[in-house]
Amino acid sequence: MSSIEGRSLGDGAATLLRVPPLAPPRGRAGLGGELRSEWTKLRTVRSTIWSLVAMAAIAIGLMSLIAWALMHRWDRFAPGERADFVAHPLEIVLARPVFISQLVVAVLGVMVISAEYTTGMIRSTLQSQPRRLTVLVAKVAVFAALMLVVGEVLSFAAFFVGRQVIAAHITVNLGDPGVTRSVIGAGLYLAVLGLFSLGFGAILRHTAGAITAVLGLILVVSNLTGLLPDSWGHHINAYMPTNAGLLIIQPHPQPGDLLSAWQGFGVFAGWTALVLAVAAVLFAARDA
């Protein structure tokens, strides 16, 4: 080796040695960082945005069209039918949009966590944040906040748009007894339903299976329990999660109701807390 080459190599080694070391890591990944991470994941997934847009379009646009069609045929209804519409205006302007919206919310809630298992991204998530309960708490908090805001905006939008559509024949205002609570309660119901569905997604870890389970409970099982005989069947039906939760959107108690509006919502919240507790235990114990 020539002296020139030796000097070059020596200068290069010296240069490498003079590079300052990386600063040591400070602190550790905590809940704040995980919240930002989950929010970034949730808002940048196209399916989330399009699902919310579709939910709003169907719940407000399509339901308003149906309400307009009902009002257009007003004179063809029997007096008893018209009296029923007047007595229960929220069935038109709120209950129907909530029924459509809950299906989308249930699917979104499942996919918040099940999609990461399907794609294998859950492993990357847990590598960046090994404390699993922190990950689950962040997912729950971010999705709950999103669904609460979206649910309340959708509920009030559906109410005001629907009120204008039916105004020629039916009058309903936020100041009417039970109406404000029903509109606010509709947003609360959608938020809790989202968490209920997220819990199922964390427990089953399979998108199709979890969606089938949640929608089957909402659309099939909850209705079939109404066919059970005697008072025990009536109690089972009343305490089913979504049957109890939907009482919050009724402005007035109905004959035969075993629970008040807030009691029913409390039962639904209790079911949701139980599902999330089971999900937390399994999420912490099972391999990714």
* 21 inside domain: no
Look-up of token digits 């989950």: 38
| pTM of the predicted protein model | 0.86
* Distance from chain centroid for Cα 178: 24
Q: What percent of the chain stands above pLDDT 70?
A: 90
Work out the angle at residue 266's Cα, subtended by the Cα atoms of residues 138 and 208, and round it to the nearest 5 degrees.
Answer: 55
Angle in degrees, 0-180, between the axes of helices 132-166 and 46-56, rounded to the nearest 10:
20
Residue 216, in any domain of the structure: yes
Is 56 inside a domain boundary?
Answer: yes
pLDDT tens track for 247-261:
999 998 888 889 999
Instruction: Tell me what pLDDT residue 29 has.
Output: 60
> What's the domain range around 117?
31-285
Asked whether the predicted pLDDT for residue 25 surpasses 70, the reply is no
- Report how many domains make up the chain: 1
pLDDT at 44: 86
In a domain, 6, yes or no: no
pLDDT of residue 9: 44
Residue 17 lies in a domain: no
Domain assignment of residue 5, yes or no: no
Tens of pLDDT, residues 126-178? 888 888 999 999 999 999 999 999 999 999 999 999 999 998 888 899 999 99
pLDDT-derived band at 61 (thresholds 50, 70, 90) equals: confident
Residue 103 reports pLDDT greater than 80: yes
Q: Which residues contact 60 (CB under 8 A, 6 or more apart)?
A: 97, 154, 157, 158, 161
Quote the pLDDT of residue 141.
96
In a domain, 104, yes or no: yes
